[in-house]
């Protein structure tokens, strides 16, 4: 490829990257990234066709129309591109693999006019590709305040935390784009599974960017003098002929980074630090604890869980972060779900229209629970399923619903289902069983119910659930339930209903039925003296298991208890529910059951009306 010029026409931007199609090169924060011609062709085709399936055949035909190419070559190029982009096949931010089908470029893409402004794209009926971040003004202000302190000579370490899809990388991208040109920025991506294989992986990626930037020669010179072993690991030999085999010492690199930051403030961004190796955590700790003044800022994104890495031994991100927070050596910016107002703004940005269809904001906010990634995936799903269609032409074109949102089935978008499946697939078989049994209870699941479903010891299950809540971002501890016998049981919550839905659907129907029956029976045992209090829950489980007759019996039994307590209104409601369920029984069982319930309901209503009449007579006499 020929020489590249930043700012030339034909720029396409996604996240922190700019694809210069005119000059055939890739940029990240002003630094050129080496990319061979073939992978560049693949990336360009994906970026120019975002948010849709690109089959293997389409890609091969488009790039090699007259040549036979082994499909395996595409996998090699995708691996190369993911490494360059810092992408993760398990939780893709850029290139999503659709098994046996092809690929999809899932990041938002915008045209870049060369002067720092974005021009939205979206005239083809897809969502808008503008990159304006929404709902994060306070967080951006906090990052700007931290940057001001760094410009004054005070080193800062900032942890940006939150669940997957909450917008950690988007926030950091938006912040970096707003930085003054007087800053140097280098980023490194931690990759799942690399923590125990390659020390300092994200650090070396960031150093590589520093050395490849416009002022990279100065950075290389400082590394050659202060940290030659680190430079040698990048494949560069210092002019002084420093030995290439010298051990990489964290102190050497800390001193070198501080010196590099003397001319321009330096920001290091390490993403997904919950997958970092122990050596990288050691280096981060050293950078935070050094007392010398330095115009150096480290921004680390990470999930809300423990972050303890296999192979990292006693070193865990959670422990490091807590220690630094306690000593006031770092700041944490925890990203909360977007508000309903912010989700509305996000949808308006993606659809490129200020006035949204009635009910759309509430529907997306409810089912995404304020997670930006989930919100956009749900919107794309509505468009793909033609629940939202483009109506009108030219300037009058706008998105309109094909029906009422409250009547739409809230199924899990395919992209999110695949992402969640990959996360769940990384757990052990036992952990998957425990979470699957928990999903039978609903969004919240007590440990005793999981133990009942699996017929295992409650204390052991509670301990296992506690470990999952510490480690996984989509499960958290909810509190304690006090059971009728005086014992207590921890209960846990799926952070998103989508995770619960995927976990539940992946279970075999027979297994789900068995779990529901066991949970219902255990409810009956625990609340034997107050079965009326859990009758509806028992009926729900029996019904889900296909045991509709037992569900009806539970509701009728609870209604009789309510009548005995003179709570006729509750008894009426229970019998009405039992009647609706009995009417769905098989023909052989339906007739007698329905007649019996109607008689009970009639007696209950007469008792209620009679009691009300006697009460009125007493009041008149009084």
pLDDT 10s digits, 185-236 = 999 988 776 555 678 989 998 998 888 887 888 999 999 999 999 998 887 6
Distance of CA 210 to the CA centre of its chain: 30
Q: Which of 232, 310, 216, 197 is nearest to 266 (CA)?
A: 216
| Res 47 pLDDT > 80 | yes
| Res 301 pLDDT > 90 | yes
Q: Are 30 and 264 a contacting pair, CB within 8 Å?
A: no
pLDDT band at 23 (very low <50, low <70, confident <90, very high): low
Q: What Å distances lie between residue 132 and 98, 120, 169, CA to CA?
A: 28, 10, 13
> What pLDDT, on the 0 to 100 scale, is given for residue 29?
62
Q: What is the DSSP letter of 101?
A: T
Measured CA to CA, the distance from residue 90 to residue 474 in angstroms comes to 15
> What pLDDT, on the 0 to 100 scale, is given for residue 92?
79
Residue 214, classified by CB atoms within 10 Å of its CB into exposed (0-12), middle (13-18) or buried (19+), is exposed
The tokens for 137 are 């003004």
pLDDT band at 69 (very low <50, low <70, confident <90, very high): low
> What pLDDT, on the 0 to 100 scale, is given for residue 256?
94
Q: Please, how many CA atoms are within 13 Å of residue 32, restricted to the half-sphere of its CB?
A: 18
Q: Which residue has the higher pLDDT, 389 or 127?
A: 389
Q: What is the DSSP letter of 506?
A: T
Q: Is it true that 11-119 and 137-334 share their CATH fold?
A: no
Domain at 137-334, CATH from 3.40.1440.60, 3.40.50.300, 3.40.190.10, 3.40.50.2020 = 3.40.50.300
Q: Which residue has the tokens 């997306």?
A: 364
Q: How is the chain split into domains, by residue range? A: 11-119, 137-334, 340-414
> What pLDDT, on the 0 to 100 scale, is given for residue 65?
73
pLDDT tens readout for residues 230-285:
998 887 665 555 455 468 899 999 999 999 999 999 999 999 898 888 899 999 99
Q: What Å distances lie between residue 65 and 174, 522, 524, CA to CA?
A: 39, 64, 67
pLDDT tens readout for residues 81-121:
888 887 877 777 788 888 778 888 888 787 654 443 333 33
Decide if domain 11-119 falls under CATH 1.10.10.10: yes
- For the range 32-35, what are the long-range contacts, defined as Cβ-Cβ under 8 Å and sequence gap of 24 or more? 32/4, 32/212, 33/84, 33/209, 33/212, 34/212, 35/84
pLDDT band at 588 (very low <50, low <70, confident <90, very high): low
Mean per-residue pLDDT of the chain: 82
Q: Please, how many CA atoms are within 13 Å of residue 277, restricted to the half-sphere of its CB?
A: 18
> How many residues are there in the chain?
622
pLDDT tens readout for residues 134-148:
999 999 999 999 999
Q: Identify the H or E element spanning 114.
A: none
Q: Which residues contact 204 (CB under 8 A, 6 or more apart)?
A: 188, 230, 233, 234
Q: Which of 400, 407, 343, 151 is nearest to 262 (CA)?
A: 151
Q: Identify the H or E element spanning 148.
A: helix 137-151
Q: Which of 169, 229, 140, 219 is nearest to 28 (CA)?
A: 169
């Amino acid at each position: 490829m020929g020489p590249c010029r930043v700012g030339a026409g034909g720029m396409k931007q996604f996240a922190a990257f700019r694809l210069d199609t005119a000059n055939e090169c890739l940029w990240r924060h002003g630094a050129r990234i080496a990319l061979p011609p073939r992978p560049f062709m693949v990336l360009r085709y994906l970026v120019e066709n975002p948010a849709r399936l690109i089959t293997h055949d389409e890609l091969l035909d488009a790039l090699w129309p007259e040549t036979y190419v082994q499909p395996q070559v595409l996998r090699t190029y995708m691996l190369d591109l993911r490494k360059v982009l810092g992408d993760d096949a398990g939780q893709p931010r850029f290139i999503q693999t659709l098994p046996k089908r092809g690929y999809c470029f899932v990041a938002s893409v915008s045209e870049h006019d060369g002067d720092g402004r974005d021009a939205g794209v979206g005239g083809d009926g897809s969502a808008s590709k503008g990159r304006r971040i929404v709902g994060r003004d306070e967080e951006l202000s906090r990052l700007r305040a931290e940057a001001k302190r760094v410009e004054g000579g005070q080193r800062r370490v900032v942890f940006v935390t939150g669940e997957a899809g909450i917008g950690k990388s988007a926030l950091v991208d938006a912040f970096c784009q707003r930085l003054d040109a007087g800053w140097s920025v280098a980023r490194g991506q931690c990759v799942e599974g690399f923590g125990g294989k390659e020390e300092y992986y994200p650090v070396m990626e960031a150093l590589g960017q520093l050395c490849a930037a416009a002022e990279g020669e100065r950075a290389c010179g400082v590394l050659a003098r202060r940290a030659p072993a680190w430079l040698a690991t990048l494949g560069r030999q210092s002019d002084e002929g420093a030995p290439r085999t010298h051990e990489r010492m964290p102190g050497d690199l800390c001193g070198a980074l501080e010196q590099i930051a003397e001319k321009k403030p330096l920001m290091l961004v390490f993403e997904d630090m919950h997958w970092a190796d122990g050596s990288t955590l050691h280096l981060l700790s050293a950078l935070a604890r050094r007392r010398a003044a330095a115009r150096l800022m480290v921004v680390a994104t990470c999930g809300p869980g423990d972050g303890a890495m296999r192979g990292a031994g006693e070193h865990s991100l959670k422990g490091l972060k807590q220690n630094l927070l306690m000593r006031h050596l770092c700041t944490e910016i925890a990203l909360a779900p977007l508000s309903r107002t912010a989700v509305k703004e996000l949808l308006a940005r993606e659809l490129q229209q200020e006035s949204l269809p009635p009910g759309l904001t509430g529907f997306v906010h409810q089912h995404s629970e304020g997670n930006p990634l989930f919100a956009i995936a749900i919107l794309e799903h509505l468009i793909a399923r033609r629940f939202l269609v483009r109506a009108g032409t030219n300037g009058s074109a706008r998105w309109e619903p094909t029906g009422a949102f409250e009547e739409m089935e809230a199924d899990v978008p395919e992209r999110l289902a695949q992402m969640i499946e990959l996360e769940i697939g990384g757990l052990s078989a036992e952990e998957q069983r425990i979470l699957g049994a928990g999903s039978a209870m609903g969004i919240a699941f007590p440990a005793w119910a999981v133990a009942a479903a699996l017929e295992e010891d409650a204390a052991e299950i509670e301990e296992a659930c506690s470990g999952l809540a510490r480690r996984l971002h989509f499960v958290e501890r909810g509190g304690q339930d006090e059971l009728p016998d005086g014992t207590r049981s921890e209960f846990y919550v799926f952070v998103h209903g989508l995770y619960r839905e995927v976990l539940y659907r992946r279970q075999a129907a027979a297994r789900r039925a068995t779990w529901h029956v066991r949970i219902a029976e255990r409810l009956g045992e625990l609340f034997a003296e107050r079965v009326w209090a859990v009758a509806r829950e028992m009926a729900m489980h029996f019904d889900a298991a296909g045991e509709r007759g037992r569900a009806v019996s539970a509701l009728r039994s609870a209604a009789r208890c309510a009548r005995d307590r003179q709570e006729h209104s509750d008894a009426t409601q229970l019998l009405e529910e039992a009647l609706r369920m009995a009417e769905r029984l098989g023909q052989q069982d339906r007739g007698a059951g329905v007649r019996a319930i109607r008689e009970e309901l009639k007696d209950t209503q007469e008792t209620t009306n009679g009691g009300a009449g006697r009460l009125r007579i007493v009041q008149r006499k009084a």
